Every structure is written in structure tokens, then in C-alpha cells.
Amino acid sequence: MSVEASSVNGHDVLVRAGELKIVSGRRFPIGVGLDFAGVVAATGADVKDYRVGERVWGMVHPRQRHTTGGAAEYVVVPADRIVPAPASISPVDAASLVVAGATALIALRDTVHVVSGERVLVRGAAGGVGTAAVQLAHALGCHVTALARDRHAQVLTDLGADEVLDYGSTTSDQIGPFDVIVDTVGSELKCYRRRLTKGGRMVTVGLSAGALAAIAASSVYGARRIRTFSANPETAMLRDLADHVTSGALRPVVDSVYSLADIAAAHQSFERGGGVGKHVVEVSA
């Protein structure tokens, strides 16, 4: 695969920091970049569904040890890790949506099984997963409350949020209750879980030692426990994601674009936070 663009995700930062050695291994080189958009450069003898020169998007396996990630000039992946990329968006925009969009879709549709008409809170709504979750929850017919920095209110409203709350001045006990909470932050999970309705569900993708403890402790609440998952989209999910892009239900939100030579700056900016949408690494212009 000739890579045109890849995005920066939390998983990439953890790999670079050496905190996922069980996944990445301890031997160098270790590549970063879970997702990619690009062009098929060559195919194996048994690959019949793709042709050289076809534009695709996809994702390397997050738990597979690999020396080359998506942030590279070329990457080798199984055919079931890619699908044709939406023709309506650029490679940079496509790369911004693979992990973020798939994570949001799995969270809403497959983990908490959101239903039209429900009240949904997206916490950390200005990030990559957050902006995708706001759009998808809106497209699924939900009333969406976005919790983010106040300066991102207009962007989130344009994406479909019915209400935007400033996380700097809004505490968990001032809001809700909600039928569904999608958390991308990973802190204060117990406090937010209390803002669920009687039949409410909560999912978090912001994992840390504290978050894992809160998730485990919440199991006593049954259906109202805090859920989590490992986003590992294959062909069917990537096709569903492309359909949402084509229909206009999901559009890219790109904070900034860096060259491959400046990938260190992309990671530094990601870790500082404060932006809206994704940081994308453009490999070939």
C-alpha cells in the first residue's frame, strides 16, 4: 500500500511512549500510525478484489506486532483490513475518519445500542472521536449534548449538537440525566455514570489505570455499568463508515496537517490538546 495520509491517535502516542510493549514488542524499529488512506501499490497472488492504483482506506491491526504502521510511505496489510475509500473526500480527510469514525460508530451502534430520540452526552466532543460521535448520534436521531471547550461551540453546533456545554465551567452534577454517555476523556467516570437515566448506558474510549478501575467497579450496576471496547474495524465496519461519509452523515474535521518529516510536531500538538478534530500526517502530497 502506498500511503498518502495517516492520522495521530492515542494508541500511537502510547506505543511511542513505550506503554504498549505487549502489543508493539521491545525490538526496534516500531512503527506508529493505526490508520491510513492511500493507493494499492501491489497485491498478493490470492487477492482478487483490489487492483493496483485503487484508492483505499484501512487500519493495521491494533494488537498485531508490526514494524511498520500507517505513518510510512508504504504499509503491508491483509485484504480484509481495507475497503475502497469514499470518492467524495481527499486522502487527508479520509485518514482523519478511519479510527475516529469507526470508534464512534462502534461505541454508539454496537456497544450502547443507541436509539432514535434518546438524549446523548458526548464528553470530549471536540476531539477526533468526539466530533464523529456528535455527527453520528445526530444522524441516528438523538438529542446531542456536547461537552467541550466553549470556543468550539459553533463547530459542534454545525456538526449536529443540540446543546454545547463548556467543560471548564460545567460539573457533572449540573447536567443530565442522559440515556447514553459517550466519554472520550477517561476521568471522573463514576461521577458521570450517576447522570444516567434508569435505563441509561455509558461507554468510554479514554482508557487509563483509573478508568479501568472505574469500569471494573461499575460492573455491579449491570446494564448501567461503564462499558469499553477495543476498536478493531474490518471490512464490514469500514464499508459502513464509508456509507455514512457518502450519505453526508459524517464529514471530516481536521485540526492540522503535518508532513511525514514533521510527525514529531504532530504528536506534540496532539498531546497538548486544545484543538478540534484530528491531526493528520500527509505522507505524499
Domain count along the chain = 2
List pLDDT tens digits, range 174-207.
999 999 999 999 999 999 999 999 999 999 998 7
The answer on 244 and 216 residing in a single domain is no
Could you tell me the maximum CA-CA distance found in the chain, to the nearest angstrom?
59
Report d(CA 69, CA 257) in Å as an integer: 18
The answer on 128 and 221 residing in a single domain is yes
Q: pLDDT under 50 in the chain at which residues?
A: none
Report d(CA 225, CA 218) in Å as an integer: 5
pLDDT attached to residue 258:
97
**Grid cell of 75 as nine digits:** 504499509
Q: Which of 38, 87, 16, 106 is nearest to 285 (CA)?
A: 38
Judged by DSSP in three states, 15 sits in: helix
| Number of C-beta neighbours around residue 273 at 10 A | 10
The answer on 206 and 239 residing in a single domain is no
The answer on 261 and 147 residing in a single domain is no
The answer on 105 and 89 residing in a single domain is no
CA 182 vs. chain centroid, Å, equals: 12
The answer on 93 and 188 residing in a single domain is no
> Which of 193, 210, 227 delimits the end of a domain?
227
pLDDT attached to residue 260:
96
Report d(CA 226, CA 95) in Å as an integer: 29
DSSP letters spanning 179-201: EEEEESS-SSHHHHHTTEEEEEE
pLDDT attached to residue 62:
65
pLDDT attached to residue 14:
79
Judged by DSSP in three states, 95 sits in: helix
The answer on 136 and 60 residing in a single domain is no
Residue 279 near residue 255 (C-beta atoms within 8 A): yes
3-class SS shares of the chain: helix, strand, coil, % to 5: 40, 20, 40
- Identify the CATH number of the domain in which residue 16 sits: 3.90.180.10
- Identify the CATH number of the domain in which residue 219 sits: 3.40.50.720
> Which of 181, 206, 227 delimits the end of a domain?
227
List pLDDT tens digits, range 109-148.
999 999 999 999 999 999 999 999 999 999 999 999 999 9
The answer on 14 and 77 residing in a single domain is yes
CA 208 vs. chain centroid, Å, equals: 16
The answer on 223 and 105 residing in a single domain is yes
User: Residue 141 carries which side chain, given as an amino acid letter?
Assistant: G
pLDDT attached to residue 110:
95
Residue 255 near residue 277 (C-beta atoms within 8 A): yes
pLDDT attached to residue 30:
73
Report d(CA 203, CA 193) in Å as an integer: 9
User: Residue 110 carries which side chain, given as an amino acid letter?
Assistant: D
The answer on 222 and 104 residing in a single domain is yes
Question: Exposed (0-12), middle (13-18) or buried (19+): which is 280, by Cβ within 10 Å?
Answer: buried
Report d(CA 275, CA 8) in Å as an integer: 13
For 204-234, what is the HEC assignment? ECCCCHHHHHHHHHHHHHHHHCEECCCCCCC
Range of the domain at 221: 100-227
The answer on 210 and 236 residing in a single domain is no
